[in-house]
Chains A and B, each alone.
Chain A
């Protein structure tokens, strides 16, 4: 359902330009899975593969062997086969032979043993016509050699420039060459449920990581630090796998797993990220738009706010939070699923010149609330989401959407699949499709208290920052850094000092435009 909306979105680069034929081949190449069997059956392709093996891999022996065995098997007369067998053995099987194959001792010895038996049997025959030589003598070795070609050299071949060149040449003559040599990859396989895919793997490689600040029921600066740390790893291919990539946006899944608390399981994190032409703040306003709310109703059956927490340093509440309860839409056969989350919006990277914040972060994490205790009749899920939108230039922005969800209990696979598509990737699609429409600021919805929190936080910071700024200008000479102790202000100062090597905090225009740049 979301796909339709997405397809109407124009790419940031503009979708008009015609694809060159080379691009088209490139696309087709990535869409097909080639079969070595098909390559072997089509002689021009087979020759190309053979040349590649000889020139690039220095590995022509398996091919020569394979063809000689084919020939051997086609040979009708036992006497002729017997001669060929000796020839093959001397060229490929015997240790130190001219084209010795890379094979295990077990297979080599099996052939030599069988061959010796054949020779013995054929000795002392009264008549040469009684000679026998079984046509399957090399069948096992041929299978093994073929499998090894398939595993090692073939994947390299289909990605080589030699293969691409061949395909381009063939494609001009015959547009069905792709169907001939391979199968189209199933699109569905690509958008696989990332959860089950990575669930086990993290145990092998890396320890699980905390995703949230478990010491607090509310979203805290520590939660914000965690998400920033995660963003800084996004360009590391060992930490993130790209699930899909199109029109300027990317969906990735972490190879590491993250937990909400150490006792329960850990899950990989999904991330959608991309650039967009538009204002970062408008991107955020989409969340409060009636259209978005309509979409959220597909995910949540009901939602209501439980509490609004104002900033109160004395109670350790450094960000304003809204806590709300929601029940998920789920098939009737399943147990009811509900969740309680604490959510905040952090305006960051204040630009005193424009009076605007250049980055907004929405963070929500699972929490508990006395008004909604866990019940036996329902299952409490855990949902984590972080949406970051930041200004890049005057009219472009970059966004990141992270999330992971733990449905708890046994959930049918199709539900998880649907859900994981709905979340990060889904929200990404929704936001991207909706941002095109002009959003009427007077029509913004509260979204369970989120809008109020954003305004509260903005006002709080603006006031604080202006005060600090005035204060700094008053005694601009010896300003000890430690005095800027307001957590959120410290936030931006730390950002600027770590990334921009020690800029005095009172120099106005030096708040970095973008800390997340990789």
Chain B
């Protein structure tokens, strides 16, 4: 890891080392026991906001178990609106912390209401669509948004504000894309099963990614047949939600190291997904990538392929125990349906072939 320069505002954070498994087959017997099993358990792992749940939702959708009916999606209206409110609150709070004034008096009025009294029921009113949109377009809020690496903000902020007229309508029913784009912090564990042919079922397990959540991962380590590890390409300028002074890339690398080298996963097929490629490409166009990685050639920092190659090397360098021929690396844009479908299909194929080799 010598070639990584720690982010300027990084300080040593508390490490949540995952408990050492108290398994009686430390040589990675899980894959062996998986032989002839009718259920293949695949774990989605990764730090917070790496896109595990987004991919999980996509897989649900293309296996027809997602929330495809209006009846069910009606239940999510409040959640989408909560997302809007949280985003608005975070932006307003950021203008205060960053000392950026909100320019228009009527937008300042709106900001006050958002912080103090607004709730999701109020949003069912087209006039709020106008007010919130006007706030979003305020020069002050936009300036804060441009500096969003300095505070915590969801990736879907822009999407939600651009769709306010729909979301604030009294006839609003969340669409599939709304469901995909809504940020919900996963707490605990959730899973789904679907047939993959050959009389086999794939059980996909989604987990929370923040530090405290990782203690729960261990419950599944004994029964895992494959691991899909996600990391966000676009987090190179961001710090953690649960620890504002800790660089996300460093955290991702650390978690990856702990997982990939875990004795229980020895010989288990392992997929590393570099997610949020779409956001990443947009980001490096305006932000310096090399500023965060001293080992990276500055002249290449606008070239996404070179950047991703560099990131790949960083992650693969972490692997000390796991056999490299059972590791697969791919990039992904989980919010993109077609891309998710294609990548997940490849992941599935990789896992199935690896299983076969056993």
Contact = CB atoms under 8 A, between A and B. Distances in A.
Given A104-B152, A151-B79, A200-B163, A237 B176 contact: yes
A149 to B, nearest CB: 8
A189 B185 contact: no
A192 B74 CA distance: 11
Contacts of B305: none
A147 B82 contact: yes
Interface string A83-113: 0000000000001100011111110100000
A399 to B, nearest CB: 22
A102 B243 CA distance: 11
Contacts of A190: 70-71, 74, 173
Contacts of B16: 96
Interface in A45-74: 53, 56-59, 61-62
B184 A192 contact: no
A146 to B, nearest CB: 11
A59 B211 CA distance: 14
Interface stretch (B59-67, B291-299, B349-357): B59-67
A500 interface: no
A101 B241 CA distance: 13
Interface residues of B, number: 52
Contacts of A150: 78-79, 82
Interface in B57-115: 61-62, 64, 66, 68-72, 74-76, 78-79, 82
A481 B185 CA distance: 59
How many A residues are at the interface, by size bracket? 35 or more
A58 B219 contact: yes
B210 interface: yes
Nearest to A104: B241
Scoring B64, B165, B187 by chain A CB atoms within 10 A of each residue's CB, the highest score goes to B187
A196 interface: yes
B290 interface: no
Contact of A241 (B64, B68, B208, B240): B68
Contact of B188 (A59, A96, A193): A59
B175 interface: yes
B190 interface: yes
A31 B72 CA distance: 9
A151 B84 CA distance: 13
B10 to A, nearest CB: 14
Given A58-B219, A190-B70, A197-B166, A255 B242 contact: no
Contacts of A156: 190
A153 interface: yes
Given A152-B186, A152-B187, A155-B76, A201 B82 contact: no
B337 interface: yes
Interface in B277-321: none
Contacts of B208: 59, 102
A413 B176 CA distance: 23
Contacts of B244: 105-106
Contact of A198 (B66, B175, B185): B175
Interface in A149-187: 149-153, 155-156, 158-159, 185
Contacts of A216: none
Contacts of B152: 104, 106
Nearest to B58: A238
B171 interface: yes
B342 interface: no
A24 B145 CA distance: 50
Given A102-B212, A102-B213, A102-B242, A57 B61 contact: no
Nearest to A413: B171
A153 B79 CA distance: 12
Contacts of B216: 58-59
Given A185-B74, A196-B169, A57 B189 contact: yes
B14 interface: yes
Given A33-B75, A58-B188, A196-B166, A238 B70 contact: no
A238 B61 contact: yes
A30 interface: yes
A244 B173 CA distance: 13
Given A155-B75, A242-B68, A201 B240 contact: no
B177 A152 contact: no
Contacts of B70: 190, 192, 241-244
A201 B163 contact: yes
B212 A105 contact: no
Nearest to A240: B68
Given A33-B75, A102-B185, A106-B244, A237 B175 contact: no
A225 interface: no
Contacts of B177: 201, 204-205, 255
A300 B146 CA distance: 53
Contacts of A237: 61-62, 64, 66, 68, 176
B71 A30 contact: yes
A95 B187 contact: no
A463 interface: no
Contacts of A5: none
A100 B163 contact: no
Contacts of B166: 196-197, 199-201
Contacts of B64: 237
A58 B189 contact: yes
A375 B67 CA distance: 46
Contacts of A185: 71, 74
A507 interface: no
Nearest to A36: B78
A507 to B, nearest CB: 33
7 contacts: A102-B213, A151-B185, A197-B175, A201-B163, A237-B64, A243-B70, A244-B70
Closest 4 pairs between A and B when the two form their complex, measured CB to CB: A59-B188, A57-B188, A100-B212, A237-B68
Given A201-B163, A243-B70, 11 more contacts: A61-B212, A105-B243, A148-B187, A152-B184, A152-B185, A189-B171, A190-B74, A196-B171, A200-B163, A241-B175, A413-B171
